[in-house]
Structure 1
Amino acid sequence: MDLTAIPGVGAKTADALAELEAPEAAIESGDVAAVARAPGISQGRAARIVRAAIRQRHDDEGTFLATPRAREVYRDVLDLLADRTVTDYAAARLETFYPSASESRIDEVRALSERAMERDPDDAVLAALEDVEPLEVPGDVRVRDRCLATTDGETYASAREAIPELSVEVVEDSRDLAELARGYATVVALDDSFAGVDVEGDVRVEPDALAEPAAVVPERPLAFFAHNRDRILAAITVHRAADLDAPCDLDVLEAALDRLDAEGTPTGDDELRRLQTAVDDLDAAVGEAESVANDRLREAIEAQDVTIEGADLLSLVERGAGVDEVLSRELADEYDDAVEAAREHVIDTLDLRDVADIARRAFPDEPTFPVEREESVVSRLREELTTARDRRAERLKTELADDLASMREPAETLVDAALELDVELAIARFAADFDATMPELGGDGITIEGGRSPLLDVEFGDVEPVDYDVSGVRLLSGVNSGGKTSMLDLIALTVILAHMGLPVPADRVHVGRIDALHYHAKTQGTLDAGAFESTLRSFGELVTDAASEGETLVLVDELESITEPGASAKIMAGILEALGARDQTAVFVSHLAREIRETADREIGVDGIQALGLEDGKLQVDRTPRKDTLARSTPELIVEKLADGNDGDAGFYADLLAKFE
């Protein structure tokens, strides 16, 4: 796949996508999470790339939503779905769903919707999804206890590119290698020439190291799992709660993750813990040991009378002897006991084993007061402990990396499946919340039975279900606030959802094939001459292009408001005539239905949302349109009520009522 062939993908974005392991597969499968792993690609951007690729694959020009109001209803649909997602990923993934005239695209999403509607949005699953996020590639990993060594400049450059986590050093001979080994816990020599060379320290000759970086830097795979540990564990919980088929043994993966902390360090190893504690607590332990020795020696000095003959004192003074020599002569045993206590304190406190002999040399045999550490020995002890710790950690990291090496792809699949489940559950929750059903597609016209719009500003349970059957061009009449605009919204919502491949909030729906939806909302106020001309031009283009665009659905709400009523009726009659002549489907809401029908040169069907009367001053309406019925207006109802009264003006109102016939 030529990534730049995807609309909206330029060379820079294509280069970023190319860094993915399988960008074409990720895009083809609609895997927004995988696409978002490309450097610099956000989830929103990934969704737009996937949507563009989907349109390209289905040869979809993206012209279904032909007007701003049609696009507003589509956004309302996406908002309803997004409100039922748990993860940000699912909300972004839903952005790849759109109404299409492509049968293959509709079928693709219908299959997903039908599968989703069989899901159970269990509370435990939804709770588990809260901690699931798309996997991320961790930042640069730096390892300071190891280095690579080579004598060759070309190998040096290759090593820096292949394993940037480690320092790469150029050496000339085994002497340089030995020098490196004194500064690093492990040195990996990349040249065959060093094979068999005996160098003190952990020096490995691995000419093939650049071909298997993870063997040299187990931190690389471990960093991925450490960074994404909580996400993967959450996905495991989701799979168990939802009883999903897992791509690997969940217990094995979970056990491996339990051996890794957030910094990528293996856990649960007593020896590593011992060495780490020894390194961390060395200075404190040595300081305490000094206090132990000095406290003992001080007590011994205070408890013992030291007598020195005059000749001996004179001899000591003449030799310039100090307290150390006095201690050596008079308190040798006490000093030895104090120093031994200090040594044992360090060894026992830090649980030292292999390096206990070094720890013993940290305090001198020669008497001195106060007793003080041999700093060079303590430094050596620290180096030995640190090296032992690092080697132990590296071995454990290598073992754990080997265990996790085969689990990265299953882990990615595991998390992606959990995120995709959230998408399906959003559809399932949408269908459940709005009593939605999968629509029947094909043929002509639109049939809605028991439809209820979730776009109304009332609780969905309080929405009155309506039926409506639309074919050809129709005028929809009715009283103010009777539900005419809501009916147009319901038709638009139904058509959009059906052509997205999603369930529709109705008992039964049939939608014929539609290539473009033109929904024109009510204009606020009369248009000036320029705006009026522009509006007429847009309808002229709509009528002219209707046949070439395929099947067009046109929904118009009170177009008469653009100019004076007489002219509006003639204009709407002409538009409906032209659309009818081209076998298009249209519903025009208008208070001028009678005038339009009388003006038109061909039969135009009129349906009515019928007012049932006034009750306590409130309008009672049957919101299901009656076919071939011109609905009565609110003024007519009021005049009728007055005409039925018994006051003296009843005759006057009866005459007024006759004017409505």
Structure 2
Amino acid sequence: MAFESIPGVGEKTADALAELDDPETALQQGDVLTLMDAPGISEGRAAAIARGAIRQRHDDPGGLLATDQARELYDSVLELLQERAVTTYAKKRLETLYPATQGSRIEEVRATVDNALTREPTPELRAALADVAPLDTPSGLRVRERCLATTDAERYAAAREAIPELSAEVVDDGHDIEELARSYSTVIVLDEAFAGGDFSGDVRVQPDALESPEDVVPERLLAFFAENRETLLAAVRVHEASELEPPLDCDALTESLSRVDEDGTIVGDEELERLATAVDDLDAAVGTAESVANDHLRAAIKERDVTIEGQDFLSLVEQGARVDSLLARELDDAFDAALQKAHDHLTESLALTDHEAELAEHIFGGEPTFPVSRRDDAVSRLNTELTSARDRRSTKLKADLADDLAALKTPAEELVRNALELDVELAIAAFARDFDCTMPEFVGDAVDEDVADDGADDDGDTDSSEDAASTPGFVIEGGRSPILDVDFEAVEPVDYSVEGVTLLSGVNSGGKTSLLDLVGLIVIAAQMGLPVPAEAVQLSRFSELHYYAKSQGTLDAGAFESTLQDFGDLVAGADGRLVLVDELESITEPGASAKLIAGILEALDRQETAAVFVSHLAREIREAAAIDVAVDGIEAVGLVDGELEVNRSPVKEHLARSTPELIVEKLAADEDGDFYDSLLAKF
């Protein structure tokens, strides 16, 4: 696959994608999670790449969102979905949903949505999802107690690249290996020539070590599980709180995770804990043992009366004896007892084995002295023994645990992936439930009739039969907009249908703009493959959505010319579009506006296009048009306490009365005289 052929992928991004193990599969599946593993690819960027790859796979040019207002509506739909997602991943994953123009993509998403609508977004599930995130790949891991050794420069370079966690050393002969064994707990020799060599220390000849680095550095796998512990445990909770079938034994994973802490250290092994404590506490324990011995000697000296006759003292001095020698003669037993107490304390406080205790005996000994002092070389030997034993024990336990976890890594990744994708489905389910959504029914095929679906199923989801309506349009029953500034439950349901080009009339504040928003939002959500906020919807699959918001005032000459050019491009465009325009007459004088709108409607009528133009000049436009323009009206029932009472659902083929007409009508009914009657007759 040529990565740079994907929309939005340049050379740098293509190089990053090439570093993935299987980028083509990830791109074909729109797999955001895998794409995020590429160097320098963030969640947002991965979502954009996945969206481009999906478009390429479905040969979907996109382009439904043809105007800024249409794009704002899409952003509103996406925001409503993302607000219902828990994880950052799901929020970004939802960005791969876009309003497609190809039926194959819409049907693909609808299949996912059908499954999502069976989900129940319970509080327990949402709480568990809060701790789920994409798995991290540990970096900067260093293992200092082992090293690699080789005589070959090329193998040395390969070792540094394959196993960067260990130091690699170039050696000339066995003597160099012996030297390394004094500095490292384990030396792994990569040259088969040293097989059978007699080395002191833990020296292992493993010529194939670079082919299975996980065996040499089990910490690599442990670091993965340690760093992702909380996410993995949260994913387990998600599966337990949902109907998802876990891809592994969750109890086995939980038990394995309990054996390693957050920094990759093995926990729960008593012998390893004993050795680690002994190494950490050795210096302090030796110091305390010294104190124990000296305290015993001090007490013994205080209690002992030492008598030396003058002749004996002179004779000893003449022989060069020190005071220590005089003490040795008198305090041999007390000195031996002091050393025993020091040794017992050291053995007991560090819980030394018999072999370790033998090494500890050499720390205090020799000729009697006061105060008693340690032998640093003996302390160093004991420290080396304890440290080596600790590291060997740790390495063995890590290797054993890594063996257990190796089979769990791939399913553990799937476990997290399932949880994250479930969050996407739960967001869709919550969207559908919060806004009383239903799956829309696509009728006809206004975009490209050569793309045929399988036909209508029992629910009538798709109808591509030859007798389906050829003129694009939509039918909305009980539609309610979720983007109004009122509680959704308070939104009045609206029924509306359009086929071809239509003028929509109605009173001010009657809901015309809100209705355009609802139509645009439903079309966008439907072509994203999503359920829509209505009781029932039938619609064409549109190639483009052109939505023009109400202008904020009369345009100057330059802006007016630019606007006309936009509509010139619009009427010259492709078939199968939906055009929504809100009060275009506000751009210039009313008389000219009516003529311009009439001309635009005539041009659109010649195309396979659906259009709704909101206008207060419906009568004037219809009179200026050379075609029979349909006019619908949002009718005001009347004025109640100075407020309009409106039927929000447009009445077909009805020119709605204006607010001024309603006010004049009310005054004519309430006031005596002919003035208001004469005004009313003008309407």
1:330-387 deviations in whole A, cap 9, x for unaligned?
Answer: 1111111111111111111111113111111111232111111111111111111111
Q: SS state of the match for residue 406, structure 1?
A: helix
Partner of 2:318: 318
Where do 1:44-83 residues align within 5 Å? 44-83=44-83
Aligned 1:603-614 pairs, distance under 5 A = 603-614=628-639
Q: What CA distance in whole angstroms lies between the structure 2 residues aligned with 1:401 and 1:519?
A: 58
1:375-411 deviation digits (Å, cap 9, x = unpaired): 1111111111111111111111111111111221111
Which residue type is aligned with residue 347 of structure 2?
I
1:488 alignment partner AA: L
Determine the C-alpha separation between the residues in 1 that align with 2:661 and 2:596: 25
How far has the Cα of 1:227 moved from its partner? Answer: 1.2
User: Residue 432 of structure 1 corresponds to which residue in structure 2?
Assistant: 433
Any idea what SS the aligned residue of 1:331 has?
helix
CA distance in 2, matches of 1:451, 1:406: 51
Match of 1:160 in 2: 160
Contact 1:327 1:335 in 2 (8 A): no
CA distance in 2 between counterparts of 1:254 and 1:611 reads 65
Alpha-carbon shift at residue 3 of structure 1 (Å): 2.0
* Residue among 496, 501, 504 paired with 1:468: 496
Conserved 8 A contact 1:275-1:389: yes
Instruction: Render the CA deviation track for 1:25-64: whole Å, top value 9, x for unaligned.
Output: 1222222111111121100010011001011111111211
Partner of residue 626, structure 2: 601
SS in 2 for 1:519: strand
SS of equivalent to 2:649 = strand
Q: CA 1:62 to 1:345, structure 2 compared with 1: closer, same or farther past 3 Å? A: same
* 1:68-147 mapped onto 2 (5 Å cutoff): 68-147=68-147
- How far apart, CA to CA, are the structure 1 residues paired with 2:617 and 2:598? 10
How does 1:197-346 map onto structure 2 within 5 Å? 197-346=197-346
Taking the aligned partners of 1:622 and 1:15, their CA distance within structure 2 comes to: 59
Aligned residue pairs, count: 655
The whole-number CA distance in structure 2 between the counterparts of 1:323 and 1:620 is 117
SS in 1 for 2:325: helix
Structure 1 portions without partners, runs of 5+: none
Task: Give distance in 2, aligned partners of 1:447 and 1:321.
Answer: 117
Cα distance in structure 2, aligned partners of 1:432 and 1:496: 18
Is the Cα–Cα contact under 8 Å of residues 146 and 167 in structure 1 kept in the other structure?
yes
1:256 CA displacement: 1.3
1:494 aligns with: 522
24-33 vs 618-627, which moves further = 24-33
Report the Cα distance in structure 1 between the residues aligned to 2:41 and 2:194, rounded to whole angstroms.
45
Contact 1:323/1:369 (CA < 8 Å) preserved in 2? no
State the alpha-carbon separation in 2 of the partners of residues 179 and 376 from structure 1: 18
**1:385 corresponds to:** 386
Match of 1:352 in 2: 352
Say if 1:336 and 1:365, in contact at 8 Å, map to a contact too.
no
Q: Which amino acid aligns with 1:371?
A: V
Q: How does 1:370-409 map to 2 (within 5 A)?
A: 370-409=371-410
Distance 1:515 1:383 in 2: 76
Letter in 1 for 2:340: E
User: Aligned match of 1:643 in 647, 668, 678?
Assistant: 668
Amino acid at match of 1:530: G
Alignment-derived partner of residue 634 in structure 1 = 659
Among residues 632, 641, 645, which one is paired with 1:616 in the alignment? Answer: 641
Q: Is the 8 A contact 1:58 1:104 kept in 2?
A: yes
Q: Would you say 1:654 and 2:682 are equivalent positions?
A: no
Tell me if 1:508 matches 2:509.
no
Among 577, 580, 585, the residue aligned to 1:555: 580
5 Å-filtered alignment, 1:174-213, equals 174-213=174-213
Q: Could you say which residue in structure 2 is the equivalent of 1:589?
A: 614
8 Å Cα contact 2:575/2:608 also seen in 1: no
Identity %: 63
More moved, 30-39 vs 199-208? 30-39
- Where structure 2 has 5 or more consecutive residues not aligned to the other structure, the ranges are 445-471
| Matching residue's letter, 2:124 | A
Distance in 1 (alpha carbons) for counterparts of 2:324 and 2:531: 94
Give yes or no for the alignment of 1:571 onto 2:596.
yes
Is contact 2:575-2:607 (8 Å) kept?
A: no
1:446 to 456, 468, 474: 474
Amino acid in the other structure paired with 1:652: F
Tell me the distance in 2 between the aligned counterparts of 1:269 and 1:635: 87
* Distance (whole Å) between structure 1 residues aligned to residue 273 and residue 439 of structure 2: 59
Q: 1:292·1:338 contact (CA, 8 Å) conserved in 2?
A: yes
Q: CA deviation at 1:320?
A: 4.6
**Which moved further from structure 2: 583-592 or 313-322?**
313-322
- What is the CA–CA distance in structure 1 between the aligned matches of 2:77 and 2:516, rounded to whole Å? 15
How far apart are residue 319 of structure 1 and its match? 4.3
1:470 partner letter:
V
Counterpart residue identity of residue 273, structure 2: R
> TM-score if structure 2 supplies the norm length?
0.94
* Alignment RMSD (CA, Å): 1.1
For the residues of structure 1 that align with 2:645 and 2:31, how far apart are their CA atoms?
A: 50
- 3-state SS in 1 of match to 2:502: strand
Q: Could you tell me how far apart the structure 2 residues matched to 1:379 and 1:35 are?
A: 51
Report the CA distance between 1:322 and its aligned residue.
3.5
Q: Map Cα deviations across residues 82-129 of structure 1 (whole Å, 9 max, x no partner).
A: 000000000000110000111000001101111101111111111100
1:544 to 572, 582, 585: 572
For residue 510 of structure 2, the aligned residue among 482, 487, 490 is: 482
1:311 Cα deviation from its structure 2 partner: 1.8
- In the alignment, the residues of structure 2 paired with residue 355 and residue 97 of structure 1 have an alpha-carbon distance, to the nearest angstrom, of 66
Q: Secondary structure at the match of 1:625?
A: coil
CA distance in 2, matches of 1:357, 1:14: 64
Distance 1:27 1:324 in 2: 84
Deviation at 1:583, TM superposition (A): 3.0
Please give the alpha-carbon distance, in whole angstroms, between the structure 2 residues aligned to 1:22 and 1:246. 24
- Measure the CA separation in 2 of the matches of 1:411 and 1:328: 68
Task: State the SS of the aligned residue for 1:626.
Answer: coil
Q: Could you tell me the TM-score, scaled by structure 1's length?
A: 0.98
Q: Distance in 2 between matches of 1:11 and 1:224?
A: 30
Structure 2 match to 1:527: 555
* Distance (whole Å) between structure 2 residues aligned to residue 326 and residue 4 of structure 1: 92
Q: Which residue of 2 aligns with 1:420?
A: 421
Deviation at 1:5, TM superposition (A): 2.2
CA distance in 2, matches of 1:597, 1:315: 141
C-alpha distance in 2, partners of 1:623/1:451? 11
Q: Secondary structure at the match of 1:355?
A: helix
Contact 2:4 2:10 in 1 (8 A): yes
